[in-house]
């Protein structure tokens, strides 16, 4: 059930191992930094694609297969438009949370957990990740599988690699997408996903698919587009592989004592839970922080996504695992809060 699907077709190419990137880290880089090409109608893409075809062949892909699979790859101006789009202003965490941890999403998440409880509990036993966290990630990433993106992944990644500002990263992901197709997963069809190359209901980049996607239903493939057993198992495998601790929660909302130094806030300021109890950090209801049932004294930190004076959260190691998925405190905190809300109504 946990085996990685990469059954290579020898007629296509010889696979060489490549390091895998985290799944969603791209979205948190400063990729709007200027320096890209000026586009109207671009005539240089075909030349770039010809050069890429040769570089891929040099890495072991069959040239005839490359000619076939890349014949439909096109420059996509819409991808560049989306890549360059800047938000008009930065929203606060309170605004972000209102959108992401909405009553409608909580209700939908509880319903999805109930509908898939047996499957999710089986995945939880295998990987040590509680169902509510899988459902929360699923809901935030793709609205429970509804919004997976309709871009041709090869064309999107080729466009971003050609654009040039993160050429090495996206060319590497394009090579990984070719490995997925050469492995037979997509058959004769087309890999589809977001404009940035994230695929399936869990929005894995191709490198993350190769590293973390697993066959959850035993059919020999890791189908993160259409198979919920594969989607849930792949998400849980990602979290487990990065260090998820099934005995700990992600964190909790807390109240800070008056006069607490802002220097104490931040993921880098880790201390045992007992330290924070002595510092009079309380739950959001004002209660003393509970001790873990096993008597452990886990390391924890205080995060305040909106800065000192805003909502504060005491977070454990699992928070860092979520941050590995997406390096945004807004995202990671919202995953935890949504998971808690889903679980509260699903018992």
HEC letters along the chain: CCCECCCCCCCCECCCCCCCCCCCHHHHCCCCCCCCCCCCCCCCHHHHHHHHHHHHHHCCECHHHHHHHCCCCCCCHHHHHHHHCCCCCCCCHHHHHHHHCCHHHHHHHHHHHHHCHHHHHHHHHHHCCCHHHHHHHHHHHHCCCCCCCCEEHHHHHHHHHHHCCCHHHHHHHHHHHHHHHHCCCCCCCCCEECCCCCECCCCECHHHHHHHCECCCCCCCCCCCCCHHHHHHHHHHHHHHHCCCCCCCCEEEEECCCCCCHHHCEEEEEEEHHHHHHCCCEECCCCECCCCCCCCCCEEEEECCCCCCCCEEEECHHHHHHHHHCCCHHHHHHHHHHHHHHHHCCC
pLDDT at 303: 98
Whether 105 has a pLDDT exceeding 90, the answer reads yes
Mean pLDDT of 280-306: 92
CA torsion angle for 108, 303, 327, 202 (degrees, to 10)? -20
The C-alpha atoms of residue 229 and residue 215 are separated, in whole angstroms, by 8
pLDDT at 88: 63
Mean pLDDT of 231-237: 99
Of 54-68, 191-205, 291-305, the range with the lowest mean pLDDT is 291-305
CA 246 to chain centre: 19
- pLDDT tens-place string over residues 324-337: 999 999 999 999 99
Whether 7 has a pLDDT exceeding 60, the answer reads no
Residue with tokens 């209102």: 98
pLDDT at 293: 77
Mean pLDDT of 290-312: 91
Check residues 6 and 146 and name the one with the higher pLDDT: 146
Contact at 8 Å (CB) between 246 and 128? Answer: yes
What domains, with CATH codes, occur in the chain?
A: 25-85+149-212 (1.10.8.350)
Q: Give the pair of three-digit tokens for residue 125.
A: 């036993």
Contact at 8 Å (CB) between 5 and 206? Answer: no
The C-alpha atoms of residue 120 and residue 314 are separated, in whole angstroms, by 27
CA torsion angle for 287, 303, 24, 342 (degrees, to 10)? 20
The C-alpha atoms of residue 171 and residue 205 are separated, in whole angstroms, by 12
Mean pLDDT of 153-167: 94
Whether 8 has a pLDDT exceeding 70, the answer reads no
Closest among 145, 193, 174, 179 to 4, alpha carbons compared: 179
Whether 26 has a pLDDT exceeding 50, the answer reads no
Rounded to the nearest integer, the mean pLDDT of the chain is 87
Residue-wise over 4-35: b if at least 16 C-beta within 10 A, else e? ebbeeeeebbebeebebbbbbbbbeeebeeee
The C-alpha atoms of residue 102 and residue 100 are separated, in whole angstroms, by 6
pLDDT at 164: 79
Of 17-26, 55-64, 103-112, 146-155, the range with the lowest mean pLDDT is 17-26
């Amino acid at each position: 059930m946990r085996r990685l699907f990469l059954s290579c077709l020898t007629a296509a190419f010889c696979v060489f191992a490549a390091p895998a990137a985290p799944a969603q880290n791209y979205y948190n880089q400063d990729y709007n930094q200027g320096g890209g090409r000026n586009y109207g109608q671009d005539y240089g893409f075909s030349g770039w694609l010809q050069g890429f075809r040769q570089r891929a062949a040099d890495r072991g892909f069959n040239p005839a297969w490359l000619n076939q699979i890349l014949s439909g790859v096109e420059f996509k101006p819409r991808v560049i438009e989306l890549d360059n789009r800047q938000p008009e202003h930065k929203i606060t965490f309170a605004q972000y949370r209102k959108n992401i941890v909405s009553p409608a999403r909580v209700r939908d998440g509880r319903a999805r957990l109930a509908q898939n409880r047996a499957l999710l509990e089986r995945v939880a036993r295998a990987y040590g990740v509680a169902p509510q966290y899988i459902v929360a990630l699923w809901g935030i990433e793709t609205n429970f599988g509804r919004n997976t993106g309709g871009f041709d992944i090869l064309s999107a990644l080729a466009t971003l690699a050609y654009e040039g500002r993160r050429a090495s990263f996206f060319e590497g992901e394009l090579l990984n997408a070719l490995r997925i197709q050469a492995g037979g997963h997509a058959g004769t069809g087309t890999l589809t996903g977001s404009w940035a190359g994230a695929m399936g209901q869990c929005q894995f980049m191709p490198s993350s698919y190769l590293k973390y996607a697993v066959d959850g239903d035993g059919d020999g493939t890791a189908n993160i587009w259409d198979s919920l057993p594969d989607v849930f198992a792949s998400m849980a495998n990602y979290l487990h592989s990065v260090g998820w601790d099934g005995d700990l929660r992600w964190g909790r909302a807390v109240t800070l004592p008056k006069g607490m130094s802002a220097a104490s806030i931040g993921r880098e300021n880790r201390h045992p839970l007992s330290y924070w109890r002595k510092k009079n950090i309380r739950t959001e209801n004002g209660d003393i922080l509970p001790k873990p049932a096993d008597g452990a004294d886990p390391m924890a930190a205080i995060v305040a996504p909106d800065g000192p004076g805003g909502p504060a959260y005491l977070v454990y190691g699992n928070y860092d695992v979520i941050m590995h998925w997406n390096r945004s405190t807004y995202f990671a905190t919202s995953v935890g809060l949504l998971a808690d809300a889903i679980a509260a109504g699903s018992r």
